[in-house]
Amino acid sequence: MFIDDIQNATLLIVSDNPLRLGPFVEYLRSYGFTISMIDRGEDAVKIARERQPNMVILDVFLPEGSSFETCRQVKAHGATTDIPVIFISTMPETSDKVKGFEAGGVDYITRPFHQEEVLARITAHLKIRALQQRLQEKNAHLQQEIQHRQQIEEALRESEERFQTLTEAAFEGVIVHDKGEILDVNHAIEEMFGFDRSELIGKNALDLMMGEFRQGILSNIRSEYEHVIEGEGRRKDGLRFPVELQAKAMPYQGRSVRVAAIRDITWRKQAERALLESQQYTKNVIESSLDMIITVDPERRIVKFNSAAQYVFGYRPEEVLGQPINILYANPTESALVHHQMIEKGQVIQEVLNKRKNGEEFPCLLAASTLYDAQGQTVGYMGISRDITDYKKAQDAIISAHNELKQKNKQLQELNASKDKFFSIISHDLKSPFSILLGFAELLAANIEQYDKPKIETLACRLLSAANKLYALLENLLTWSKIQRGLMECVPELIRVHDLVRDNIELFAPQAEKKQIALVDDTPHTITIYADVSMIKTVLRNLLSNALKFTSANGTVVVSAQSYNAHYTEIVISDTGVGVPPDVLPHLLRIDSQYTHIGTAGEEGSGLGLILCKELVEQSGGSISVQSELGKGTTFSIKLPKAAKK
């Protein structure tokens, strides 16, 4: 089946409910498709092998077993392995889609669907299969032509060997005559002309030759010409046959006579005629081939350039004959590499990049071999090549579709991870601070008459602490939600890093003092970044909060900054805290893995802060990385642009 036959293609549809697909089937039939409907997977395998449909469409849910196993059985059989299989299902689960593609399916369509879209998909896969079949047939045809050419070369070689054997074994006929009167002949003359020796002696030698040949012989005799001449001899029975004659004067029985060496060249004339016919046949094969066939001499100058090559390259024969083969290559270096392989191996089959007369480059599959003469000397090279532009486009389309599917799967996984993270925070991380807040409030409300002022102040402080934690969590959650929905607008501006760090250190100074942690600002006054102020404040606030949370008393938290390169500034927040386990570190900034740990003073966290930091830094055109050693501390590095991109 080729491209122009697609609308006459046969489709095998396997569904547990054929009526449900009735309208869709009629829609396909209206476009010329022949439809076979069955409801059992095992029947589908049997019918596919017997009828060889152009495509199989499988309902994922079949009553007697797995549609994926049905697909695998279809693909496992040599006669049906190339038939494209499309799955149809009401369930859009990624796992089912993956199973479908692993089983050998080429597409996975979920219901409800648009008939036009499914028709387009079916047509696209039928075209791809048709192109693949056409390429396979062309490859088979090319191999047949190569084998045929090899057989022709072998026949010619055998013919040349037979010719050489005959030449060595043949005996020339010899006539000795005096002014035409035959004086003597050898046995080969008797066999050649059918006369006995006694019948020839005294006979005029010219009587053995045809009339038009006699004048040439007489002319040679008069001028004593000794070169070879050709003509026709006549046998005793009147049969005419081609001969080759060479004569010279020499002494014979005391007088000067002429000795003529005569060869029956019937076999040679026949061989010449056969060779001409063979050459014409070979020429016709080469000229009628749909593949480009080009031969070059040992210096790689073009000698033959068939019609297909003229059509594909756009050159007329007179424009390329005698020219170096390099003019047909997009890169002369590749041409030299092909020649080097030909010298080493005698033949080569590989993909090359050729160039048309108009400069357009295009890919070809080249099969080239060395041509030898009877002595084994190289007399040239022959290349048979095929334009595989359409094949490459189809291949690229398949790869592109596959990569797009992989990207969609990755996006789906990230969306699922984001959803899981969101529900985790809603169900657990928000519930805990709310419970503490409500608990303290209920305790204070129920006992306010009995509690003294210090007790009330203690409960109020705890209420405030719980409320602050809840507020910080809600603020991070809302910010993260805005980013996920694309509502977080990044408005970059030029910022002095020292001012930004100073404000955040002042904010966390009471907390650091309470935990007896040295909070150090080591940022130069001249270092700047080009970023969104609000976003980077949130990042620094989360990283400083984490650093203080996981650093024990008498520890140190240092914020420093430096020029990373010509385009980026690096801000570093390092602490001497508890560190992060090595197995957790690679996943610390990923949305699909959650790591939470109690602070050195019992502080709790949601695990959302670091993910929020990563997204905010990336929104500002930067990157964030982390290094940590368990028990020794953690260092976060933020790289942000120095100025707006030009």
Specify the DSSP class assigned to residue 301. B
pLDDT for residue 569: 94
Coil vs helix vs strand at 290: coil
In a domain, 153, yes or no: no
| Residue 85 to residue 108: CA distance in whole angstroms | 9
Q: At 192, which CATH number?
A: 3.30.450.20
Lowest mean pLDDT segment, chosen from 168-182, 221-235, 425-439:
425-439
pLDDT for residue 534: 83
Give 429's pLDDT tier (boundaries 50, 70, 90): low
In a domain, 571, yes or no: yes
Q: For 290, what's the count of Cα atoms within 13 Å in the CB-facing half-sphere?
A: 12
Neighbours of 143 (CB within 10 A): 11
How far from the centroid of its chain's Cα atoms is residue 213's Cα?
69
Q: Which domain does 113 fall in, by range?
A: 10-138
Domain count, the chain: 4
pLDDT for residue 5: 58
Give 166's pLDDT tier (boundaries 50, 70, 90): very low
Specify the DSSP class assigned to residue 18. G
Report pLDDT digits (tens) over 305-330: 999 999 999 999 999 999 999 999 99
Secondary structure element (H or E) that encloses residue 627, with its range: strand 623-629
Alpha-helix runs per DSSP H in 84-210: 94-103, 115-169, 187-193, 197-200
Residues 494 and 625 in one domain: yes
Give 295's pLDDT tier (boundaries 50, 70, 90): very high
pLDDT for residue 627: 93
Q: At 83, which CATH number?
A: 3.40.50.2300
pLDDT for residue 162: 44
pLDDT for residue 299: 92
Residues 123 and 240 in one domain: no
- Given 388, 407, 439, which residue is the final one in a domain? 388
pLDDT for residue 167: 32
Residues 330 and 368 in one domain: yes
pLDDT at residue 640 tops 50: yes
Residues 192 and 77 in one domain: no
Report pLDDT digits (tens) over 344-361: 888 899 999 999 999 999
Lowest mean pLDDT segment, chosen from 3-12, 80-89, 388-397, 521-530:
3-12
Cβ-Cβ contacts under 8 Å for 19 (sequence gap 6 or more): none
In a domain, 531, yes or no: yes
Q: 100 near 78, Cβ under 8 Å? A: no
pLDDT for residue 2: 43
Residues 33 and 84 in one domain: yes
In a domain, 395, yes or no: no
- Given 367, 388, 409, which residue is the final one in a domain? 388
Q: Return the higher-pLDDT residue of 438 and 40.
A: 40
Q: What is the mean pLDDT of the chain?
A: 81
Lowest mean pLDDT segment, chosen from 1-15, 119-133, 263-277, 299-313:
1-15
Take residue 116 and report the two structure tokens written for it: 């036009």
Residues 222 and 118 in one domain: no
Residues 92 and 24 in one domain: yes
- Overall average pLDDT of the 367-391 stretch: 89
Residues 529 and 619 in one domain: yes
- Overall average pLDDT of the 392-398 stretch: 87
| Residue 626 to residue 551: CA distance in whole angstroms | 16
- Overall average pLDDT of the 476-491 stretch: 66
Take residue 646 and report the two structure tokens written for it: 């030009």
Cβ-Cβ contacts under 8 Å for 408 (sequence gap 6 or more): none
| CA distances, 448 to each of 63, 463, 601, 640 (Å) | 69, 14, 28, 52
Lowest mean pLDDT segment, chosen from 103-117, 449-463, 621-635:
449-463
Residues 113 and 221 in one domain: no
Residues 518 and 636 in one domain: yes
- Overall average pLDDT of the 491-512 stretch: 89
pLDDT for residue 159: 43
Give 1's pLDDT tier (boundaries 50, 70, 90): very low
Lowest mean pLDDT segment, chosen from 28-37, 320-329, 448-457:
448-457
Residues 243 and 339 in one domain: no
Residues 508 and 364 in one domain: no
pLDDT for residue 170: 41
| Residue 477 to residue 608: CA distance in whole angstroms | 8
Q: 57 near 107, Cβ under 8 Å? A: no
Report pLDDT digits (tens) over 513-560: 888 999 999 999 999 999 988 888 889 988 998 888 888 889 999 999
The answer to whether the predicted template modeling score (pTM) of the entire model surpasses 0.85 is no
- Given 388, 413, 440, which residue is the final one in a domain? 388
Take residue 443 and report the two structure tokens written for it: 């305790």
In a domain, 611, yes or no: yes
pLDDT for residue 101: 86
Alpha-helix runs per DSSP H in 485-582: 497-514, 533-549
In a domain, 277, yes or no: no
In a domain, 48, yes or no: yes
| Residue 182 to residue 192: CA distance in whole angstroms | 16
Q: For 303, what's the count of Cα atoms within 13 Å in the CB-facing half-sphere?
A: 13
| Residue 608 to residue 473: CA distance in whole angstroms | 8
Q: 216 near 222, Cβ under 8 Å? A: no
pLDDT for residue 353: 93
| Residue 638 to residue 613: CA distance in whole angstroms | 10
Report pLDDT digits (tens) over 73-107: 888 888 888 899 998 887 777 888 888 888 888 88
Among left, alpha and beta (phi > 0; psi -120 to 50; other), residue 238 is: left
Q: At 622, which CATH number?
A: 3.30.565.10
- Overall average pLDDT of the 130-152 stretch: 84
pLDDT at residue 605 tops 70: no
Q: How far apart are the first and last CA of the chain?
A: 54
Report for 83-87, 274-278, 540-544, 568-572: range of highest mean pLDDT: 568-572
Cβ-Cβ contacts under 8 Å for 175 (sequence gap 6 or more): 182, 184, 185, 189, 200, 205, 208, 259, 260, 262
Coil vs helix vs strand at 513: helix
Lowest mean pLDDT segment, chosen from 198-207, 379-388, 485-494:
485-494
In a domain, 235, yes or no: yes
Alpha-helix runs per DSSP H in 298-424: 307-313, 317-320, 332-345, 389-424
| CA distances, 179 to each of 188, 193, 196, 227, 530 (Å) | 22, 20, 21, 18, 116
| Residue 97 to residue 613: CA distance in whole angstroms | 34
- Overall average pLDDT of the 200-210 stretch: 84
CA R_g for the chain: 46
pLDDT at residue 427 tops 60: no
Share of the chain above pLDDT 70, in %: 82
| Residue 23 to residue 31: CA distance in whole angstroms | 13
Give 636's pLDDT tier (boundaries 50, 70, 90): very high
Specify the DSSP class assigned to residue 346. S
Take residue 307 and report the two structure tokens written for it: 């019609």
